[in-house]
Amino acid sequence: MTPITRIKETLAELVRIDSVSSHSNAEIIEYLERRCAASNLVTQRFPYLDERGIEKFNLIALSNPATEVELALVGHTDTVPYDPNWSDATNLTERDGKLYGRGACDTKGFIAAALTAVEMIELSHLTKPLALVFTADEEIGLRGAKKLAEAKPLRVRYSIVGEPTSLKPIRAGKGYSLAEVIVKGREAHSAYPALGASAVFRAARLINRLEAIAIQLKEDRHPAFDPPYTTLNIGLIHGGSAKNVLAGECSFTLEWRPIPTQPSEHVLNLFKAAIQEETQSDPDFVCEVDASRADSGFETAPDSPLIRLLEKATGNNSGTVAFGTEAAQTMALGAESVVIGPGDIREAHRTGEFVPVHELERCAEILKEAVEQLCKL
Ligand SMILES: [Zn+2]
């Protein structure tokens, strides 16, 4: 069987297993265990219960039992949900050199390439340990990878994290932070505004300050990124109960994507200072901030052997992305990290997501080369 036939067959099997983040990933983990065992990798499951009490698993497969590995290939097992009208979502379909199916691009294509690459390598010839790491719940906040980063079951020197990058090595990514903000007011009849305090007016003043913070953030630049600074967004806002009532409450979401050279709490500190100023001019001002996420970004030096190797193998210069990946968690395991994979991120998370066949094939060759170069020395 040619490598590409094997990759396609593997991808079809992976896509057939529905592994949407909302349910357990046990079935795809069992599949991966079988495949890894057939390649003589030693597997270990890392179970946990998600916030709804559903059992999820991370899986680590090692070329030989070790707690320090030279290279980890990391792929997430979960996918985003799919439209029930997409009848072939779990039935991999090939058209015009593209393979369509939920997860084909994000990130089962990478996993199929990694499994096939490992099968092409004589593992007994490796002199340094290799790990395959399969995670859960990436699509709902990198939760599986965060569990591994906390538990630290491994030390990792280099990690290749699979995400669709059209095979461009990504050496840095912005972080991701989120806060829910609730501004309080006092309800009153709108004909008598002096009897209450509008939470919407208060929130509006605070949001004006956030817009000023967004402008201030442009001064701290990281030229490798587009845009080259931390951005922030207020994506949702809700307030009030009726048109003729002063709003008793107004809530909004504040999201920011910090450049990796800036601590993720920097924006939060600026925001808290803004709240402080509001409180000084309006002693009645009450605001609750629930900072629920602070995922750090990552950056690997452009001259890292891992980046150099992948630039050479792909013929593509390394770059950066403005979205979150599991690379930051693999850095917590000690790794210099890179994100790379077949398919285009703009095709991910859509009905009709696909991965180009030639990129899948190239990805397996590139991973094989990376393993042989990094683990054989
Ligand atoms: Zn992904």
pLDDT band at 323 (very low <50, low <70, confident <90, very high): confident
Ligand 1 centroid to 324 CA: how many Å?
A: 9
8 Å CB contact between 195 and 273? no
Catalytic residue among 33, 70, 78, 137: 78
Ligand 1 centroid to 106 CA: how many Å?
A: 5
**pLDDT, tens only, 27-66:** 999 999 999 999 999 999 999 999 999 999 999 999 999 8
**pLDDT, tens only, 66-77:** 899 999 999 999
Ligand 1 centroid to 40 CA: how many Å?
A: 27
To the query of whether residue 138 is one of the catalytic residues in this protein, the response is yes
Catalytic residue among 33, 119, 137, 138: 138
8 Å CB contact between 318 and 311? yes
What is the pTM assigned to this prediction? 0.91
Average pLDDT over residues 283-292: 94
Ligand 1 centroid to 12 CA: how many Å?
A: 18
Ligand 1 centroid to 80 CA: how many Å?
A: 9
pLDDT for res 265: 86
Distances (CA, A) of 189 to 183, 185, 196: 19, 13, 8
To the query of whether residue 344 is one of the catalytic residues in this protein, the response is no
Distances (CA, A) of 332 to 2, 139, 148, 335: 37, 19, 9, 7
pLDDT for res 264: 76
